[in-house]
Amino acid sequence: MKRVVSVLLAVFVLLGLLCVPVSAEGEDISSAFTDEIFLAVVYRLLGKEPGDIIMAEECTGLYMFFLDEKGIESLAGIEYFTSLIFLDCRGNNLTSLDLSLNINLMTLDCAENKLSELILPSGSNFNWLFCDSNNLRDLDVSNNPGLEILSCPFNNLSVLDVSKNPDLKWLYCAFNNLKKLDLSHNKNLKVLSCVGNSFESKFSIKGLFSLQLSNFYFYPQNSFGYLVLRYVFFGWLWMKEYKTN
């Protein structure tokens, strides 16, 4: 009887293996990289010449990408870098970014793009997110319980749900369209900047008064403090632009 059971178990295991999706190893993925600038970076990092074939298994050994301000419009193909833990793609021309398959990612800086869609990897590995100055109307961080820093100012967010982020320590959500914010589940929060939103008062921020914040910046959009801060900020931008031209 035991022998029959052993044989059946072996058959089930074999059938299970046959049902698993085929590994990407040995697959030519060169055509997955649709952006020439990003493709050139990948060739350089892999020690290849332009036009060489890129195999999927060659991408698993890269852990960090520094792609800031390169004029990249698409990161198609990034999904094959499954060992990636750090991605800096700030200051490009990205309109969407899907990192759902980069499950080991810990830090992402995708600020100053044109993103209207951002899909994050799920899991507790993901800790730091900087997505400032984009066109985001939605931001889902509900599958990232280990998130510690969230910086998303200068977007078009009308809702921000951080109830599933108990480890959150720094939250920068200034200059959006938020009318209310629930921080009752964020007992570890230390720094909060939410200036320039549509809050009627501090009472629009649930759980605020139970937090022991070390730094707190709050001005509703209709306040004098908000107007002063806004003019100071854009004055600084103008000076920066003036001095570099």
Task: Tell me the residue length of the chain.
Answer: 245
pTM: 0.80
| pLDDT score for 185 | 95
Contact at 8 Å (CB) between 110 and 126?
no
Tell how strand 128-130 and strand 170-172 pair up.
unpaired
| pLDDT score for 218 | 75
Rounded CA separation 128/107 (Å): 5
175-204 per-position pLDDT tens digit: 999 999 999 999 999 999 998 898 888 878
| pLDDT score for 210 | 84
101-130 per-position pLDDT tens digit: 999 999 999 999 999 999 999 999 999 999
Name residue 129's beta-bridge partners.
Answer: 108, 150
Nearest 5°: the CA angle 137, 138, 140 is: 160
Task: List, in sequence order, every beta strand (DSSP E) within 10-71.
Answer: 64-66
Rounded CA separation 245/237 (Å): 13
Rounded CA separation 129/144 (Å): 10
For residues 194 and 229, which has the higher predicted lDDT (pLDDT)?
194
Domains assigned to the chain: 60-243 (3.80.10.10)
| pLDDT score for 212 | 82
Percent of the chain with pLDDT over 90: 67
For residues 19 and 127, which has the higher predicted lDDT (pLDDT)?
127
Rounded CA separation 200/213 (Å): 21
